[in-house]
Amino acid sequence: MQYEAGKPAIEVRDLAKRFQLKQKAPGLRGSWQAVWRPEMREITAVSPLSFTLEEGDMLAFIGPNGAGKSTTIKMLTGILFPSSGHATVLGCVPWQQRRQLAYQIGSVFGQKPQLWYHLPADDTFRLFARIYELDMKSYQRRRDFLVEAFQIGDLLQTPVRKLSLGQRMKCEIAASLLHSPRLIFLDEPTIGLDVVAKQQIRDAIRTLNETENTTIFLTSHDAGDVESLCRRVIVVNHGRIIFDDKTSVLKRQYLRRKVVDVRFADALTEPFTLPGVETVKQGTYGVKLEFDSRQIPVESVIQQVISGHTCNDINITDPPMEEIIREIYAV
């Protein structure tokens, strides 16, 4: 089946998933009771959820741990049967047309590696070529393209267990793009990676979206991922959508706070203060500042800091995603 152009890549209507969970009271007594009368409780992982995603779009699907992100991805990739509701992904009902869909989507689960641990990534690549029934010529072309995009040329012959986490992740993502999927699910693709690796991965994904109009469905705890990749954000909590709009709107509303860490060459002798800036922490050789970047531009804060002191290091960060989400709940 071919997916028709002009239709949304993902359409979700009232999709829901519930699980049964065994409960146990603490202690030996609780263990003993659980042996005889296990208490079952039903939990809603995903409450009826509805949204659509246009082809070529890049969506960040975010929320705290246990919000139902992964469960949603699993239903959309055909891994899980939903408890109720409908969904079509590239024209397929995932849990009914799992294999048809599989040819057209790619998925990266940051914490569930796909590469064979003891073998060089190239061996897995070749196996994947068989799995997706690619002919050798187009496989070679695609492989060269991905090697270029992710800069993994010199990593492919090394057993995966000997790669660093960042190198491994780049190979992981490249592997799941071998069959040129039209839609990619990325579940925490940059978790635990260093800044350089994160940037390389983001660049490669963006290139893919620009050149091939690949649709991206991303979950991440990293505000940087969301900001640099996605035009649209959906925030879920307790299985419900609590925010669904452009990233710029999210940013304007919530991502305005910046955190600046400064290490000075000389010891501070008096309390560090700047107008409009909150001093979160102060030590002998450093301060941590937080401010609203809409009211005071970042440059002006930095200038004020370096004009009075000799600095060894300055680090500008966004508040963690969790904090932004917490702020969203407050609204």
* Residue 146 C-beta: closest distance to another protein, Å: 18
Is residue 209 a contact partner of residue 216, using CB atoms and an 8 Å limit? yes
Nearer to another protein, 160 or 289 (CB): 160
How far apart, in whole angstroms, are the C-alpha atoms of residue 151 and residue 46? 38
Is residue 176 a contact partner of residue 184, using CB atoms and an 8 Å limit? yes
How far apart, in whole angstroms, are the C-alpha atoms of residue 149 and residue 147? 6
- Judged by CB under 8 A, the number of residues near another protein is 47
Q: Does residue number 123 form part of the binding site for another protein (CB under 8 A)?
A: yes
The region of 2-10, 124-132, 144-152, 194-202 touching another protein under the rule CB under 8 A is 124-132
The region of 50-58, 127-135, 199-207, 304-312 touching another protein under the rule CB under 8 A is 127-135
Q: Does residue number 79 form part of the binding site for another protein (CB under 8 A)?
A: yes
Q: Does residue number 116 form part of the binding site for another protein (CB under 8 A)?
A: yes
CA-based nearest residue to 151, from 136, 137, 135, 169: 169
Kindly compute the dihedral angle of the four CA atoms of residues 26, 32, 35, 37, in this order, to the nearest 10 degrees: -80
Angle of the 165-175 helix axis to the 121-131 helix axis, nearest 10:
20
Is residue 71 a contact partner of residue 80, using CB atoms and an 8 Å limit? yes
Return the residue of 109, 217, 243, 272 that touches another protein, per CB under 8 A.
109
The region of 6-14, 122-130, 252-260, 307-315 touching another protein under the rule CB under 8 A is 122-130
Q: Does residue number 42 form part of the binding site for another protein (CB under 8 A)?
A: no
Return the residue of 48, 78, 110, 166 that touches another protein, per CB under 8 A.
78
Q: Does residue number 1 form part of the binding site for another protein (CB under 8 A)?
A: no
Angle of the 247-254 helix axis to the 321-330 helix axis, nearest 10:
80
CA angle 104, 220, 105 (to 5 degrees): 5
Q: Which residues bind another protein (CB under 8 A)?
A: 17, 19-21, 24, 27-28, 31-32, 34-35, 43, 45, 65-66, 70-71, 74, 77-81, 98-103, 105, 107, 109, 112, 114, 116-119, 123-124, 126-127, 130-133, 159
